[in-house]
Amino acid sequence: MSYKVFLVEDEIVTREGIRDNVNWRAADFEFCGEAPDGEIALPLIEESKPDVLITDIKMPFMDGLQLSRIVREQMPWVKIIILSGHDEFEYAQTAVKLGVTEYLLKPVSAQDLRTVLENLTITLDREKQQRESLMRLQNRVADTLTLDREKFLLRLVMGGVSSAEAVEQSQKLGLDIVARYYVVIVIHIELCEEVQSFDYYEYKKVEDIVANLVDNHLDVFFTKKGIEEFVLLIKGNTPEQLRYTEDRFASLLKQIVEEKTTCRLTIGSGQPQNRIGDIHRSFTEALVKVRGQLGESSLTPLGAENDLSDLIKVNHVAIENYLKFGLIADYDVFFATHIQPICEVALRSALVKHYMFLDIVLTVTQFVSDLGGNEAQGTLGVHKIESILARSGSIGQAREEIRNIFVAAFTFRNSQANYERSIILNQAKAYIDTHFTDPELQMSKVANRFNLSPGYFSTVFRDEIGETFRDYLSQIRIDRAKELLRTTNLRCLEVAYQCGYNDSHYFSFTFKRKTGLTPQQFRAQSQENYEIE
């Protein structure tokens, strides 16, 4: 590849002599333009974008140093060769400051100039290789980042990442996913010509169209579920805003795809969700609606409902509580109580069955993710849903398939160190924090609530929290009392009662033991500090 050179010289004889006598091709250069001064040269240089600029210093209107300064600022890659008939130090000094490549004194022979240009090609070749290497590296980094973003978004919509992890990972990947509401769209691609079952290049056209539209919208995120299926996650401030964005995006996408490809789209959307942890529910609805539109699931008459989440009600709270505290030995009772009633309805329709299983699998996946696992740990995985459905033709078969899902989740749950103890203690602390005003709150009452013996609960509480149940409860009550004494005019008797003490004398004794002051002294001290301030 030859490099381009531009010549600026006000003396026409000198300019034409250089232009016509240098063998540019032999030096691996292309002469791309000339001008008599810097003012005329500048727009021509911006248009031709040369690799090398040869310019005289002394010229009317705009001299060579002024031109070099502008070119250096606007096109820093250009190599500059200064020609001067004045052997003066100040010109050379200015040229060096400007970063010119060569400073040659007139008269310059064609051979001298060719030698300089041939030496420049070494530098230009090296810089070209460096730019290409940098570009390849940047492309690899960009490709890796794009792939990591797609993997993350797919895990997110499929419930394979906890809310905290989702926010942390999205920030690392440069994705701003935090919003008040979310909705998921699933897009399935088919060829209009049914004779041809697959055309990679047409599918790639659709992918590029979708990606380009998403790039222009900060509230829409794109990932691929497969070569024929894409997923869009849309965020917004209100459900109405989400629906507007969704409708506009879907209609524009269908219009462009129909105009520019031989494909048609099937688009399904879920219900808006206001939590990151519930995004997978919107994905479930969107995916099943697409399956229904494709005729992959034949509905028997169940009513005129369009919203599958209203057709069957999976009790997510019951499933989550069972996953947290349940045992596999209790599975039959749990299934009969919470799943069998909806399962009997779902088995009448392949579409609704698909929805039910997806919802259960994604709920379990979210639970495992919250414990620090991933889709491969603790669940059979959404990617195996088709085989699960194929084996679930009856209530008995469905019971066993769902049991396998829970067994996998329990196995992972039980592998986590101190899981059961940490769950119980967190719930016990939350219970104490909200019931400390109850004068009858005792350790035995809290232990019984969580089906533990008082002795075991006392030991576990002290080991995990670092203090006894009594000290923990007393500190919460005293902290509340300090707050009331500082911020209200309640009498000490009333403060004691609101903090869980029936006996004001015992309250005063405990308060002084914890703070070193009586309640009255503490209040007086607080007021003195306030007056000083």
| Domain layout of the chain by residue ranges | 3-128, 158-296, 300-416, 421-532
Q: What is the predicted pLDDT for the residue at 530?
A: 46
Q: Is the pLDDT of residue 68 over 90?
A: no
With 0.85 as the threshold, say if the pTM is over it: no
Which segment of 49-58, 108-117, 269-278 scores lowest on mean pLDDT? 108-117
Does residue 71 have a pLDDT over 70?
yes
Per-residue pLDDT, averaged over 112-135, amounts to 83
What sign does the CA torsion over 5, 6, 11, 13 have? Answer: positive
**Residue 180 confidence (pLDDT):** 92
Pairwise pLDDT comparison (495 vs 288), residue with the higher score? 495
Four-way CATH pick for 158-296: 1.20.120.450, 3.40.640.10, 3.30.70.270, 3.60.130.10:
3.30.70.270
DSSP state of 264: E
**CA 203, CA 189: separation in Å to the nearest integer?**
7
Q: Percent of the chain at pLDDT above 70?
A: 85
Element (H, E) at 475: helix 469-487
**Residues 433-443: what's their mean pLDDT?**
90
| pLDDT band (50, 70, 90) for residue 413 | confident
Looking at residue 501, its pLDDT comes to 92
The candidate with the shortest Cα–Cα distance to 210, out of 134, 150, 160, 144, is 150
What's the confidence (pLDDT) of residue 87?
62
Cα–Cα distances (Å) from 141 to 95, 171, 351, 386, 486, in that order, read 38, 17, 41, 35, 57
Q: 298 falls in which pLDDT band (50, 70, 90)?
A: very low
pLDDT at 300 over 50: no
Report residue 4's pLDDT band, with 50, 70 and 90 as the boundaries. Answer: very high
Calculate the CA 218 to chain-centre distance. 12
Give CA–CA dist 399/402, Å, rounded.
5
- Cα 81 to its chain centre, rounded Å, is 49
Percent of the chain past pLDDT 90, that is, above it, reads 13
Cα distance between residue 363 and residue 357, in whole Å:
10
Q: Is pLDDT above 50 for 97?
A: yes
CA distance 212 to 185: 16
Q: Are strands 220-226 and 229-236 parallel, antiparallel or unpaired?
A: antiparallel
| pLDDT at residue number 498 | 92
Condensed to tens digits (0 to 9), the pLDDT of residues 143-159 reads 677 778 888 888 888 77
Minimum mean pLDDT among 124-128, 380-384, 406-410: which range? 380-384
CATH placement of domain 3-128: 3.40.50.2300
Q: What pLDDT is attached to residue 301?
A: 41
Q: How far is CA 516 from CA 22, 462, 510, in A?
A: 97, 25, 10
Whether residue 184 is predicted with pLDDT greater than 90 in this model: the reply is yes
158-296 and 421-532 agree in CATH topology:
no
How many residues does the structure list for the chain? 533
**Cα→Cα distances 365→105, 155, 309, 320, Å:** 76, 10, 19, 11
CATH class of 421-532: mainly alpha
- The answer on pLDDT for 92 being more than 70 is no
Residue in 338, 324, 504 with CA at minimum distance from that of residue 422 = 324
Arithmetic mean of pLDDT, 300-305: 40
Provide the pLDDT for residue 526.
63
Maximum average pLDDT range among 198-207, 287-296, 489-498:
489-498
Name which residue leads in pLDDT, 96 or 290: 290
**Exposed e or buried b per residue across 2-22, where buried means at least 16 C-beta atoms within 10 angstroms of its C-beta:** ebbbbbbbbeeebbebbbeeb
pLDDT, one tens digit per residue, over 349-368 is 776 777 788 778 878 887 88
